[in-house]
Structure 1
Amino acid sequence: MKKIFILIVGICSLIACKNEPKKQEKEEKPRAEQPVPISDDVLETAVIYEANIRQYSEEGSFNAFTKDIPKLKELGVKVIWLMPVYPISSTKSKGSLGSYYAITDYTKVNPEFGTLEDFRNLVKIAHENDMYIILDWVANHTGWDHVWIKEHPEYYTQDKDGNIIDPINPETGESWDWTDVADLNYDNREMRQEMIKDMLYWVKEEGIDGYRCDVAHQVPVDFWEDAAARLREVKPVFMLAEAEQPELLKNAFDMQYAWKGHHIMNEIAQGKKNAEDWDAYIAKNDTLLEEDDIFMNFTSNHDENSWNGTVFERMGDAAETFAVMTYAIPGMPLIYSGQEYDMDKRLLFFEKDTILKNKGKFYPLYEKLGKLKKQNTALNGGKKAASYNRLSTSDDKKVLAFAREKGGDKIVFIANLTDNPLRFTVDARGSYTNYMTGEKMEINAGTSYDFKPWEYVILTAN
C-alpha cells in the first residue's frame, strides 16, 4: 500500500542553480513558509487546476499567472499542476514555439515564461495562499537538444543501425508521430538515476510539492516506485499519473487519470452510451482499485482540448452537467486553463494562442462547486472518500441518480443524461435543498419528476 500522504511543514532556503552567477544569490529572498501540510483531509476536498502558462495570459509568463493565484483560490483550487516549464528543444521542433514536452534541460526554466526567480515567486505565492505546486514531468522522452543526446546516446532507444528513435506505439510498432522527441531507454540504469537526480532538484531546491507524470504507463512501474521512494525521503510528495493502471497506485502514485470515465461522459453526451454504461464503469472500478486510490475526474485537459475538441464540441449542451458530475462523484475534479472562462476554442499547441478571460456561466459554477466540495463531507473524494450508492429510478438507462454520505452529511445527485425531456421517479425519500437554487425539495419514491434535456440537481440533506 502507498504511504500516507502528509506534507511536512518547514521553512526552505532558496538555493541558486549551480551555473547562476553568485551576484544573483544576494537578490534571492527567503522562501515563504509552506502551507499547512497536505493531509488526507486536504485531499478529500481538493480541486486541481492545470495551468497552461504560455496561453494563460497575453504575456504568457510566470508573473502574469502568479497575479491570478488568488482567483484560483476563489474557485476552491488546492493543487496547481504546471504544464512543463523547462526549456524547449529547437531541433525537430513543431510549429514556431515547439512543444512543452520536448525538453532540453530538466533543471532549468523556459525563458519564454520568465526567470527562475519568477518561478520561485510563483511557488511562494501559491504556498502563501495554502496551495500546492506540482510540475509536469516528462520521463518517457527528451527533446533532441538535450545534452544526453550527444554525451550519452546509450540513454536512448536505438534502432538496429544505432540511430536514436522517437517513441513507438507498443500496440502497433509504429511511431506515435512524436517526432520532436527522442525515446529514453529504461534498460539503462545510469539514465534512471540521472532522471531521479533531476526530479530531486525541484523538490529539494525549489520546494515544489510533487509531480504530474506524463505518459506514466509508458515508463516501467519499478522506475516510478524507485523515484517516489527517493523523493519521499526528502518530504512527502503528491504524485499524479497520466495513466489508468492500478499497479502504479500501489507504491508510486497517489492519483491517476479517470480516462475511461471521461470517455464514457463524452459518449453519453453524443448519444452513444447511457447511464447504465456509467454504472458498469463504477462497478468495475470497485473490483480493480483499493479504497484509498484516487481518480482525477475531468471534462477537458490540454490533450483533449487541443486534439479532440473543446468541451462544447465533445459534450454540447451536456457540458455543464458533466462538469458538475466531476465534483459529485468520488475523486478530485480538474479545471483546465480557460474552462473557468467558458473557453470555446481549441488552443494551438505549438503557437501562441491566448485564453480570453470573459466570465460567463462556468466561473460562478466552479466557484459554487468548490465551496460545496470544501464544506460538505459527502463530496469527499480522496483516500477516505464518501460512500457512493446508486439510486434506482424508473428509467436507469437515461437517468443517473446516486447518493453520497459521510460524517453526517448527505448529497443526492440526479441527472437526465439524454437530450430529451423525461418524466421519472427516484427510489429515495427525504427533505433536501437544491444546492444551486436554494429551493427546498421533498423527495418521495412515488413522486414523478420532469427534467429538461441534461437537467441535473445536487440536493443537500436538510
Structure 2
Amino acid sequence: MWEKLIAFILVLLVIGSVAPVHAAEQKASTWQDEIIYFVMIDRFNNGDTANDYQVDSSDPSAYHGGDFQGIMEKLDYIKEMGFTAIWLTPIVNNEAKGYHGYWTEDFYEVEEHFGTLDEFKLLVQEAHNRDIKIILDLVVNHTGYEHPWLSDPDKHDWFHEDKPILNSNDQNLIETGRLAGLPDLAQENPEVREYLLDMAKWWIEETDIDGYRLDTVKHVPKDFWEDFSKEVKAVKEDFFLIGEVWHNDPTYVADYAKTGIDSFVDYPFYNEATRIFSSPDQAIGKYMNGIWQRNAVLYENPSILGNFIDNHDNKRFTRLAIEKDQDPVSRLKQALTYLYTAPGIPIVYYGTEIAMDGGEDPDNRRMMEFQDHELVSYISELGKIRQEYPALSRGDYELLLDQAGMTVFKRSDAEQSMLVAINNTTADQTVTMTNDMIEANQQLRAVLGEGIISGNSDGYVIRTSSESAEIFVIEDEEAQLMGMTSWVVGTGGLVIILGIVFLIVKRKKVKP
C-alpha cells in the first residue's frame, strides 16, 4: 500500500515538473496586455516641498504641489495595484496656473513645479526598474495664452488667426480655430512642423519614455499626424501612440487610425459605460456589445483601444453615481470589472481607487488622498486576474447572455476560456448557461468570487448576488489537475510531499 502511495506522489511531481508554462509567460507582452494608471502630476503626491512655488491648495485652479518625487515615492503603490504603465499629464514648462500642463510656455523645458529634467529621467528609470512603462501627454495643437512666440514678429505665421470654434461640424474650423481661446499652431507651416516633430523626438531620445498620449488630435490636420507617427516610431521601437479624439461618433474617431496613431481613448465606450454602470438595472450587453462590434469592424486591432470610466475632463464616476442616489463603491465595482475584462486597455484615473468625488473641471482634479480602501484591494485583484489570464486581454469576445441588468460573456484564446458574469441589478440572479454556450463536461472555477460550478444535462447554473460580478476560468478535470501539480512544484508543495514520503518510509522501517 505504501509503495502505491509513494508512486502516486512521484507521478504528481513528474507531471507538475513538465506542466506547460502559463500562456502569460509564453508570449511577449504587447500594449493590449498593459493596464494604465492616469496621473495628473500636480494633484497626485507632493514629494518635494522645495519646488512649491505659489502653491495654494485652497484654489482649485492653482498648483497644489504634486511632483516627480511624489510619483517616485508611490511607484510601488501603483505597481502593487497591478498597473503596468503610467500616463502622465504634460511635464513641459507652463504659464501661470497651468498646473494641468496644457498651457505650454516652453516645449523643451520641464515645469519647475514638478522638478528637474534629471528628476524626470530618474522617474522613468525607476518605473522601468519595476517593469512600468511611462506614457507622456503631448500637446502640439496650441500653446499657452501668453506664449513668447505671440509677440515675436518672426513667428507671426506660426499661428492661425484668432477665431473661435463656433461650428463643431466644420472640420477646417476645428483644425484652425482657437480651442478655449488658446493660440492655435499652424502645422502646415514647414518651420512649425519641423519644430514640433524635432521636439517630440527629443523627449523620447532624452528621457526614454515609452509612449505619447496625444492631446486634441482632431484639432490638428491628419497629414501632420502621418508625419508625426513615422518620425517618432523611427526613434524607438514599439513606441506607443494613443490619441484623444473627443467625439461621440466611433467612425469619426477610427478614421484617425489611418494616420499611424496606434490607439485612442475610447469616448464611445466611456459614454455607454458611465451611463450603464452609474445606476443599477441598466441593460449592459446589447449596448456594450454594440461598441465592440463596431470597433471590431473599424479597427485593425480594437483590443488596444483605451477604455476608461473616469478622466480629468469629465465629472468623476463617483459623482455620477451620487447624483443618481447610488452607492459609488458598488457602482464602481461593476464598472471596473467590465473595464478589466472587456476588450481594450483599462485606463484608471488616479483617485478612482478611493472612489474620489468630483464635479466638472477643475473639481474632478482634487489632490489625491492615500488611504486604505476596499477598491484598492478590488483593483489589485482585477489586475492580478487580468495579468494571469491573457484571454482577458488577447482573447475573442462573445456575448452569451443579456437580460435586464444581467450579462454573461466569454473571452477565449487558444489556451483558455474565461467567463464573466455581471449582475448590475438590485436583486440576486440565477441564470443557466446551456451546453451550447459552454461545452459539456467542463467546470467553472471562480477567480473573482468563490466556488466551482459543474455542469449537468441542462448546462451550468450561475447564481450571483445583487450588484456583484464574478470571473470564472472554464476548465476540464485535466486542467484542474495541472493546476494542482503546478502548486505542488511552484509554491513549496514539493517540500511538503517529500516530507510525507520521508515519514512514510521511516514509519515502514520501524514497523514491528
Q: Give the alignment's TM-score, normalised by structure 1.
A: 0.80
> Does the C-alpha gap of structure 1 residues 330 and 52 become closer, same or farther in structure 2, counting only changes over 3 Å?
same
Aligned length: 408
2:92 paired residue among 76, 86, 100: 86
**Mapped partners of 2:295, 2:331: distance in 1:** 24
Check the 8 A contact 1:98/1:350 in 2, yes or no: no
**Mapped partners of 1:352, 1:295: distance in 2:** 24
**Mapped partners of 1:440, 1:301: distance in 2:** 37
Listed one character per residue, the Cα deviations across residues 404-446 of structure 1 (whole Å, up to 9, x for unaligned) are: 1123221101112334444433334431122123422235655
Secondary structure of the 2:377 match is helix
1:440 paired residue among 452, 457, 461: 452
Listed one character per residue, the Cα deviations across residues 173-228 of structure 1 (whole Å, up to 9, x for unaligned) are: 79999546212233323212211111111011222222000121222222111011
Of Structure 1 and Structure 2, the greater helix share is in 2
Tell me the equivalent position of 1:234: 235
Tell me the equivalent position of 1:222: 223
Tell me the equivalent position of 1:76: 82
The answer to whether structure 1 residue 66 and structure 2 residue 72 are counterparts is yes
> Does the C-alpha gap of structure 1 residues 168 and 89 become closer, same or farther in structure 2, counting only changes over 3 Å?
farther
Does 219-228 or 345-354 show the bigger shift?
345-354
**Mapped partners of 1:212, 1:199: distance in 2:** 12
Check the 8 A contact 1:276/1:397 in 2, yes or no: no
1:303 paired residue among 313, 337, 340: 313
Tell me the equivalent position of 2:59: none
Check the 8 A contact 1:132/1:209 in 2, yes or no: yes
Tell me the equivalent position of 1:401: 408
Tell me the equivalent position of 1:116: 117
Check the 8 A contact 1:49/1:79 in 2, yes or no: yes
**Mapped partners of 2:205, 2:462: distance in 1:** 56
Tell me the equivalent position of 2:40: 52
Secondary structure of the 2:471 match is strand
Deviation, 1:311, is 6.5
Q: Which has the larger radius of gyration?
A: 2
Deviation, 1:56, is 0.5
Check the 8 A contact 2:341/2:392 in 1, yes or no: yes
Deviation, 1:354, is 1.7
**Mapped partners of 1:221, 1:443: distance in 2:** 53
> Does the C-alpha gap of structure 1 residues 180 and 123 become closer, same or farther in structure 2, counting only changes over 3 Å?
farther
Tell me the equivalent position of 1:378: 391
Deviation, 1:233, is 1.7
Tell me the equivalent position of 1:339: 352
Does 450-459 or 419-428 show the bigger shift?
419-428
Q: Give the alignment's TM-score, normalised by structure 2.
A: 0.72
Listed one character per residue, the Cα deviations across residues 157-179 of structure 1 (whole Å, up to 9, x for unaligned) are: 21xxxxx3455553377999954
Contiguous gaps of at least 5 residues in structure 2: 1-26, 47-64, 476-512
**Aligned AA for 1:218?**
H
Tell me the equivalent position of 1:105: 106
Check the 8 A contact 1:414/1:457 in 2, yes or no: yes
The answer to whether structure 1 residue 387 and structure 2 residue 384 are counterparts is no
Does 416-425 or 232-241 show the bigger shift?
416-425
Runs (4+) off by over 6 Å: 172-177
**Mapped partners of 1:360, 1:288: distance in 2:** 39
Secondary structure of the 1:141 match is coil
**Mapped partners of 2:282, 2:163: distance in 1:** 38
Tell me the equivalent position of 1:170: 168
Percent identical pairs in the alignment equals 24
Tell me the equivalent position of 2:186: 185
Contiguous gaps of at least 5 residues in structure 1: 1-38, 91-95, 159-163
Does 293-302 or 413-422 show the bigger shift?
413-422
**Mapped partners of 2:178, 2:386: distance in 1:** 40
**Mapped partners of 2:29, 2:312: distance in 1:** 28
Listed one character per residue, the Cα deviations across residues 256-276 of structure 1 (whole Å, up to 9, x for unaligned) are: 112111211122234675432
Deviation, 1:45, is 2.2
Tell me the equivalent position of 1:363: 376
**Mapped partners of 2:355, 2:365: distance in 1:** 19
Secondary structure of the 2:367 match is coil
Listed one character per residue, the Cα deviations across residues 44-85 of structure 1 (whole Å, up to 9, x for unaligned) are: 421011111111124411101111112211122222111011
